[in-house]
Structure 1
Amino acid sequence: MEKEFNPKIAVAISLQQHSYKTAEALEQNGMLYKYYTTVFYDKESIIYRLLKRYLNSDLTKRMQGKYSAIFSAKVSKYYEFLGLLFLFVIRKDHSRIILPKIKGIMNILFGVKIAKECIKHNIDVVIMYDTLAYYSFKKLKNSSAKTKRVLDMASVSAPHIRDILLRELESETSFKDSLQLSLKQYSRKLCLKYEKEIQLADYFLVACTFAKKTLIELGVKDKQIYYLPLGAEVDKFLPIKKKESLNKTKLKFLFVGRVEAAKGIFYLLNAFKELINYDIELDVVGAIKCNSADLEIYGINVNFLGNKRKEEMPAIYTDADVYILSSLWEGFSLSLFEALSSGLPVIATDCSCAPDVLTELEEGFTISSANITELKEKIVWFVNNKEKIPEMGLKSRELAKRYTWEKYSENLTEIIKSIVIED
């Protein structure tokens, strides 16, 4: 008789990221023991009732979104006040002075607590997230616990990000204040800790091969790394619209993300500035995270639309013709898949999941990051080949349909089984 497979798997995160989907997948496959976090919405809780009374409607929706009925019975919350304080400050501390201090305290307290829980309950596998797992992994490593430590890489390795930022600071690009602000999150001291966090992990989950490459550069062995692409919520975005008027209007390109140097905004905006004589325009959706004065010279064929609510985004994607992901680094870009789901061909940099998923000339193009020349070439290609956009858009939507959360759940289950039985 086959031995029953019933491991104790915990997901632990002081913030959120895509951890809900991970926990939901494990619960649906009968493997979730606990979901440890700081903030998880409870409508019966006094603190959430008070917050609902004083928060505006947008923040209330965000707060209520930190909930999943699928695994709610298995949630354990610790240091909830610190978690709520962090979520409040992240929207107010634009200079990023207070936020790192709160995050640092929360990570220490929460991390040590999770390690104790894993030891107490004989957890087989704990899944935590990069830059948030150091204190848990360190305590578990120094104990006699047999808990296997899995680091889910939401992005690429922090030391690699630091290298990119330093390279950009030495270049002739503008938006230096934005780069300096990002560098605060990836200081030399922090990156040394994050590198130790990687060394303390037994296994890694990566959503793109670019992230895998940055781990191998740090000495991680190939057999420790599991490729696990995330899912796309295709049904939340509008079907592709017909493009009968493409030859009669300006070709509209779209960028979605924080307006900062890390997102390659310098290269994107200057590409459009140099293509001012073409009948094109760029819609930029996202919070301004750089000096707004630096943006004034880009207003002729660029529209800065600011932040938009989630419910507004389907219409914005549908109104565009081509999507551009210009980031200097990305993990599994959800905005890229929102665009694909909306039936848009894309231009995306190679330091993302794009090389893993896109087929050249089918759904769009992959280009080198920080390369204005390549970006301009692909923009002009779409201008000269408008008639190909509708068919490419159809292929984009079909591609997005292959990346479902159901498939993510299946893949995660097989990975966990492999990790549990690994000697």
Structure 2
Amino acid sequence: MRKRIIMGKYNIIVAHPYQQHSFQTASAIKQMGALQSYITTVYDKNSSITALVKRLLKGDNLKRANNRKCSYLEDREVIQFCEFESLVLLLLHRIDKSRKIYDRLNTYILKKFNRKLAKYIIKNNIDAIILYDTLCAECIKILRENKTETKIIIDMSAPNFAYMDYFFSENVKKYPKYSEKLLNEMKSAKYLERLKNSKYEIENADYFFVASEFSEESLVYSGINKNSIFICKYGIYMDNCNFIKQKSAKIRIIFIGDVTQKKGIIDFIQIIRNLNVNDFEFNIVGKYDEDDPIYKSNKSICNFYGYVTHDEVLKICENMDVIIFPSLSDGFGLSVIEAMSKKVVPIVSKNAGVSDIIINGVNGFTFEVGDNEMVVSKCRYLKDDKLALNSMQNEAFKCVSTMKWTDYYKQIEEAIKIIFES
């Protein structure tokens, strides 16, 4: 049996087959002395296959690989399952345009990872396991079948998928002309399986961590008691240097995210089509398809950056004035607070968890999904009133400068104490 490496009275695992914000969750659990292991797939651990592959990389690929390590965790605290297969999956993500082989391998890895994880939990008599939404149904099923006493906590990186499905359906009804791709996705076996797995996870988990009131609301939608939900707001690492924002004759607007209907790209295009190109500049940062009509019909008025690294996104934001975040359903929106750290005024959908931190007219604006006229009016207001724009840029910066990951750690610790004392 693996020797426990904890100092506290709890024995907790954080497990994620990919990454997302799980490094922060694992760090929070370690800080309170309760981390038994962090379990993942691809991780830059000494003697790992990932470390060997990294020697062959350069440029942006090397930057991405360097992010596969958490400086706060020691290698002995990290366990890897399915590493080789997952490295192959990362390669397929870049070369398999049809996604057919990628999807099959991904399904295989998730099932294998979850089975290995469940076996490890049972063998080591773990007190609690922190899992991630839509990725853990198989593990939960095995734990429930074996009637373990392990407390199952789902850290919701996104809202309840059933709730998201509702908003996707509404948007498809609103924009039938542009919704063929999303509608086909929603009818696919992969999507329906994800919906089924998400429902099983939510019905069989004991507790939930969420980053926002919107994500909390999404769980209540499926009948989860609020007493089982803990709001733990994300933090940000930022340079607190109060830099001077460069002026521009035009208001520079940015959209950050994949160029998809789910991220609100159709609403974004409707918005910018109602703004004068002589007064505004439009920028889209995120993966897009060159064959997509959205790209083809708007490349003359928008700067499409495509996928860029995290550092490059921050650099681009230094020369932006406003971020429009029209997501149909988003658990938080880290890209928004990162933009705010560069003095970019947020105009965000109320279906994005980051709307929790927005004070209308002070550090940004919120709007109901689909209320594009309201967004257009706020953009024009900021163009006409440069003093208001400057004030809101400074307030946006001040707002996120107080958001620390250490506060997130404290919220996680408090949640764990309540879970074990209840």
TM above 0.5, one fold?
yes
Q: Quick check: 1:118 aligned with 2:121?
A: yes
Secondary structure class of the residue paired with 1:328: coil
2:228 to 211, 224, 229: 224
Alpha-carbon distance in 2 for matches of 1:185, 1:264: 23
What is the Cα deviation at residue 227 of structure 1? 0.5
Report the counterpart of residue 168 of structure 2 in structure 1: 165
**Equivalent residue number for residue 156 of structure 1:** 159
| Percent identity between the two aligned chains | 27
Do the aligned partners of 1:115 and 1:136 also contact (CA within 8 Å) in 2?
Answer: yes
Q: Cα distance 1:171–1:405, how it changes in 2: closer, same or farther (>3 A)?
A: same
Equivalent in the alignment of 2:339: 339
1:364 aligns with 2:364: yes
**Which residue is 1:58 aligned to?**
60
Shift of residue 178, structure 1, vs aligned partner = 4.1
Match of 1:146 in 2: 149
Shift of 1:64: 2.8
1:56-101 per-position Cα deviation (integer Å, ceiling 9, x unaligned): 4322321232112322221111111222122222223333322332
Within 5 Å, which residues of 2 pair with 1:8-407?
A: 8-45=11-48, 48-50=51-53, 52-53=55-56, 55-71=57-73, 72-172=75-175, 174-180=177-183, 182-183=185-186, 184=188, 187-235=191-239, 239-242=242-245, 245-246=247-248, 249-276=249-276, 279-289=279-289, 291-407=291-407
Contact residue 245 and residue 319 of structure 2 kept, 8 A = no
Letter in 2 for 1:63: A
1:132-155 CA deviation, whole Å, 9 max, x = no partner?
111111111122311000001100
Task: Assess if the C-alpha contact under 8 Å between 1:178 and 1:260 holds in 2.
Answer: no
> Kindly tell me: are residues 21 and 197 of structure 1, through their superposed partners in 2, closer, same or farther at Cα, counting changes over 3 Å?
same
2:126 counterpart SS class? coil
Q: Secondary structure at the match of 2:348?
A: strand
Q: Is the 8 Å Cα contact of residues 44 and 50 (structure 2) preserved in structure 1? A: no
Conservation of the 8 A alpha-carbon contact between 1:256 and 1:286: yes
Letter in 2 for 1:356: D
Shift of 1:263: 1.1
Q: What is the RMSD computed on CA atoms of the aligned residues?
A: 2.2
Q: Which runs of 5+ in 2 are unaligned?
A: 1-6
How far did residue 205 of structure 1 move? 0.5
Deviations 1:266-317 (A, max 9, x none): 1111211122365111111111047433323324542212222222223211
Amino acid at match of 1:171: K
SS of 1:91's equivalent in the other structure is helix
Of the structure 1 ranges 300-309 and 191-200, higher mean CA displacement relative to structure 2 is found in 300-309
For 2:416, the equivalent position in structure 1 comes to 416
Cα 1:80–1:372 shift into 2, 3 Å:
same
Q: Which moved more, 1:125-134 or 1:180-189?
A: 180-189
Paired residues, number: 414
CA-CA distance at 1:174 after TM superposition: 4.8
Q: Partners of 1:66 and 1:45 in 2: how far apart?
A: 12
1:207–1:332: 8 Å Cα contact kept in structure 2?
yes
Q: Distance in 2 between matches of 1:96 and 1:166?
A: 24
Alignment check: 8 A CA contact 1:204 1:224 kept: yes
Matched residues in 1 for 2:345 and 2:294: separation? 29
**Counterpart of 1:234 in 2: which secondary structure?**
coil
- Shift of the 371–410 alpha-carbon distance from structure 1 to 2, 3 Å rule, reads same
* Runs of at least 5 residues in structure 1 that lack an aligned partner in the other structure: none
- Using the TM superposition, give the Cα deviation of residue 385 of structure 1 relative to its aligned residue in structure 2, in angstroms: 1.8
C-alpha distance in 1, partners of 2:241/2:315? 7
Any idea what SS the aligned residue of 2:14 has? strand
Q: Aligned partners of 2:367, 2:303: CA distance in 1, in Å? A: 23
Distance 2:254 2:91 in 1: 29
Q: Aligned in 2, Cα 1:87/1:359: closer, same or farther, shift over 3 Å? A: same
Quick one: which amino acid aligns to residue 321 of structure 1? Answer: D
Taking a change above 3 Å as real, the CA distance of residues 342 and 189 of structure 1, as seen in their structure-2 partners, is same
Amino acid at match of 1:318: E
> Relative to 1, partners in 2 of residues 1:30 and 1:185: Cα closer, same or farther, differing over 3 Å?
farther
The separation in 2 between residues aligned to 1:207 and 1:50, in whole angstroms, is 34
**Does the 8 Å CA contact 1:175/1:290 hold for their aligned counterparts?**
no
> Cα distance, 1:420 vs. partner?
1.5
**Contact 2:288–2:295 at 8 Å: present in 1 too?**
no
C-alpha deviation, 1:410, in angstroms = 0.9
The separation in 2 between residues aligned to 1:221 and 1:323, in whole angstroms, is: 34
Letter in 2 for 1:352: A
Q: Which amino acid aligns with 2:229?
A: I
Query: How far is 1:240 from its partner?
Result: 4.1
Cα 1:185–1:225 change in 2 (3 A) is: farther
